[in-house]
Amino acid sequence: MSDERVSVRKTYKLYVGGAFPRSESGRSYPVAAPSGEVVHAAQASRKDVRDAVVAARSAFGKWSGATAYNRGQILYRIAEMLEGRRGQFADYVGADEVDAAIDLWVHYAGWADKYAQVVGSTNPVAGPYFNFSFPEPVGVVAVLAPSEPSLLGLVATVAPVIVTGNTAVVVASESAPLAAISFAEVLATSDLPGGVVNLLTGFSAELAPWLASHRDVNALDLTGAVPGVRADLAATAADNVKRVYVPKSAAFPAAPGLSRINAFVETKTVWHPIGV
């Protein structure tokens, strides 16, 4: 028997509802692997967008209903698993970017059970009532991740969306999607419920308009959109009163903080009679 063997080639698929389907259209497009060889990533279609939104909506109730402490535990577990596969991701994007992505994910995991305390409030009112304001997730958020940095940009846009209980449909870096697909494998083997993050690869110009116009998407992050088309996507999203986030700074990723978390929550105020 010959000692030579043919290695198993990795297949790069989508990540929808906790599973790894191929694009329903059967399409793919060429991208460069770390080894220099050309591989093919799945090219998502409009139908894949719809499937991802359905998965995100189905997962929203369970994820938003989880305790903030539990969400923080799950996000921290994702950081642990990313740390365990550091060498693999370093081949894709370099060790420095991997370390920054892990640290940023841990940063947002820490906000899970602290955010409501920081931004919530008890409001003074003229009457025999308690008046409380607290943040709630908006729902399904479509995220256009930046092309560069491909892994750190993905983490910097996705983590602040899901930490408060939102679910996400993400269009990964078009030119460098391989790290994002491998990151989906980290999500799939963590405690994150299927459907909380759904990752599509392909062409943003094809997928973004459908996300902007989809009536079951509650918010749209345009970080990775080409500046020249942001206005068009925002106008499309306005037709169904979708919340739109456009980063103020061209530098990315900006310093972590509350601004991205704030973009995808709504403040709800409750009145309660005193003594009842």
Q: What is the DSSP string of 108-156?
A: HHHHTTTHHHHH-EE---SSSEEEEEEEEE-SEEEEE--SSSHHHHHHH
Domain segments of the chain as ranges: 28-33+46-273
CA 161 to chain centre: 6
The maximal CA–CA distance of the chain, rounded, in angstroms, is: 88
What pLDDT is attached to residue 215? 96
If we measure between CA atoms, which residue out of 42, 77, 106, 112 comes closest to residue 187? 77
103, 15, 197, 260 alpha-carbon torsion, rounded to 10°:
60
In this prediction, residue 40 carries a pLDDT of 93
Assigned superfamily of 28-33+46-273 = Aldehyde Dehydrogenase; Chain A, domain 1 (3.40.605.10)
Quick one: pLDDT at residue 25? 92
Walking along the chain (276 residues) 10 residues at a time, the average pLDDT comes out as 75 95 94 87 97 98 97 97 94 94 96 89 78 89 94 96 98 94 95 97 96 97 92 94 86 71 90 75
